[in-house]
Amino acid sequence: MAAYLNAMFTAAIDAIFTINERGVVESMNPAAEKLFGYDASEVLGNNISMLMSSPDRESHDAYISRYVETKQPRIIGIGREVTGRRKDGTEIPIRLAVSETMVDGRRIFTGILHDLTAMKLAEAEIRKLNEDLGLQNDRLELKVAKRTEELTEAVNRLLSLNQQLQQEAEERRAAEEALRKSEVELIKALQKEKQLNELKSRFVSMASHEFRTPLSTVLSSADLAESYTGGEAHQEKRSRHLQRIKNAVGTLTSILDDFLSLSKLEEDKVRTEAVYFNITSFCHEVVDDMHGLLKPGQEIVQIHENCDIEVCLDKKILKNVIYNLVSNASKYSDAGKAITCRMRVSDHKLHIEVEDQGIGIPEEDQPHLFERFFRAHNVENIQGTGLGLNIVKRYLNLLDGTISFNSKPGAGTVFRINIPLSHGQR
């Protein structure tokens, strides 16, 4: 048994000492020699305090005497972190656990010491990484603020060039304010969730890209229109450039409307207001409003089934949902292609399908279609914010509705909506 215990003592990877009541070292294992850089012959018979740093070195003997008299432990049976002193004078952090035992009527203290150097170095590295991450976050916030300031200046220049479009300008200013508030919320969220870093970077990049093209169109067309100072001979050219300005402003307004809608949804400021209205008349009204957005030769085919009735829903939200889906169908379809809008009421639900013959959605992109700012890789050259379908899904959630789709690249897409008529119909 003694040989077994001696083998364990010798093979232990932690340093082990035994001392008597006077603090004199009676034994130490090879791990202790390696840890402190002493041969056993240099330590045995000496006070254990030779391996300690101040203030433990000076108070150690008094502590043992006090424990022997009072039996009140500060380390024994408890353990704590202390600082050891190697033969070369260097200090090392140590986890010390001390136990007491009686051997042949003598009180012996056994100390097991675990080197904490690697752990302390790792903790220091973690603290440094956290400090570096904080600096990176600060730089990112400054970059976002700079981009936001540039965007604000560009919008202000657009407003000064288009005072005759007062109503659109008011909507832009409102959307700009909502955008600034949204940016503030994103920056606050950045401090709590590192996952939002990528989202904010994509937002700034997308906004900068989407505003640059229509703004360039407005500025160039305004300069050209101003250069045609003649009479009727130049009227057609002026009209053409003014129309380009109006189209660019319409694009900017659409983008800002998306930002405003997303902001209201994020802040939970959208409230549903259900009213009774006729589904067939409603569908005709929406389609009539959208004819001006269609490409040449495109048409909207309406198919109604059991829809000449009144239902109770939020009319404004439903119009936004249909408007967005039909607008997408037109945008991603070629000129001359038909868009089919089917509506039917059955099983106390309103069923809507919007089908196009457009470019379709790549299969690998379909799982991400309703994510904020996501755009499929085959529409990179078509203007858009990547917010429309995310907003549609959020609107439908407010109506307890669902949305699904089927799509095949090059063969078109069909979106299906189901909305429960919780208030009934008449």
Model pTM score: 0.46
Per-residue pLDDT reduced to its tens digit, 175-232: 778 778 877 777 776 665 654 455 555 555 555 555 555 555 555 666 655 566 555 5
Domains in the chain, ordered, with CATH? 2-115 (3.30.450.20), 121-266 (no CATH), 274-420 (3.30.565.10)
Nearest Cα neighbor of 100 from 126, 116, 82, 78 is: 78
Edge to edge, the sheet with strand 15-19 lists 25-28, 15-19, 106-115, 91-103, 80-85
Per-residue pLDDT reduced to its tens digit, 329-388: 888 888 889 999 999 998 889 999 999 998 999 999 889 888 877 888 887 777 777 778
User: Of the given ranges (9-23, 120-134, 140-154, 231-245), which has the lowest mean pLDDT?
Assistant: 231-245
Nearest Cα neighbor of 272 from 325, 322, 312 is: 312
